[in-house]
C-alpha cells in the first residue's frame, strides 16, 4: 500500500513538471544578421526557427543551465541561442540602416536558413597582428 502511495506521488510530481510553464525572466535582442534558435544547446543541433538582427526574444528560466547558452522563446518556438549573440539594447542593424539594400537582397526562407547557419559556425577572435 505504501509503495502505491509513493508511486502515485511520483506520477503527480512528474505530471506537474510536464505541464509547468516556463517563466519569462526578461527580453533580449538578437545582434547578428541572421541566426537560429536551436533545439539543444549545440551549434549542430536542429534549428527550430530563424531569427534576424534586432528580433526580440523572451528569455526563459531553465532547469538546465548550460554555459554560454540561454533558453528562449521566439513566437511559438522554444529553444537555445548562444548568449554571445544576444544584447540588452535593440541593436542598429543592416535592415534598418539600409532598407532599400536589404529589400533588394530578396532573401527566401532557404537562404535565410543558410546564412543563419553560417553565422552559427562563424568564429569571432581577436588577432594579434599589429
**Whether residue 107 has pLDDT greater than 50:** yes
Domain 22-120 is classified in which CATH homologous superfamily? SH3 Domains (2.30.30.40)
Please give the Cα distance from 21 to 7 (Å, whole number): 24
Sorted by where each begins, the domain ranges of the chain are 22-120
Statement: residue 11 has pLDDT above 50: no
Task: Report the alpha-carbon distance of residue 26 to residue 72 in Å, rounded.
Answer: 10
Sorting pLDDT into bands at 50, 70 and 90, what band is 1?
A: low
Average pLDDT of the chain is 80
Per DSSP, the three-state class of 36 is strand
Pick from 118, 59, 117, 119: which is nearest to 85 by CA? 119
Q: Which grid cell is 108? A: 527566401
Phi and psi at 51, nearest 5°, equal -125, 150
pLDDT for res 103: 86
Amino acid at each position: 500500500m505504501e509503495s502505491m502511495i509513493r508511486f502515485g506521488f511520483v506520477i503527480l510530481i512528474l505530471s506537474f513538471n510536464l505541464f509547468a510553464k516556463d517563466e519569462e525572466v526578461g527580453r533580449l535582442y538578437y545582434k547578428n544578421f541572421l541566426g537560429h534558435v536551436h533545439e539543444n544547446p549545440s551549434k549542430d543541433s536542429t534549428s527550430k526557427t530563424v531569427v534576424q538582427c534586432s528580433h526580440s526574444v523572451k528569455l526563459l528560466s531553465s532547469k538546465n543551465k548550460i554555459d554560454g547558452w540561454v533558453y528562449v522563446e521566439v513566437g511559438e518556438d522554444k529553444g537555445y541561442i548562444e548568449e554571445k549573440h544576444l544584447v540588452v539594447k535593440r541593436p542598429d542593424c543592416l535592415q534598418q540602416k539600409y532598407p532599400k539594400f536589404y529589400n533588394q537582397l530578396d532573401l527566401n526562407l532557404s537562404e535565410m536558413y543558410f546564412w543563419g547557419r553560417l553565422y552559427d559556425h562563424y568564429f569571432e577572435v581577436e588577432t594579434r597582428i599589429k
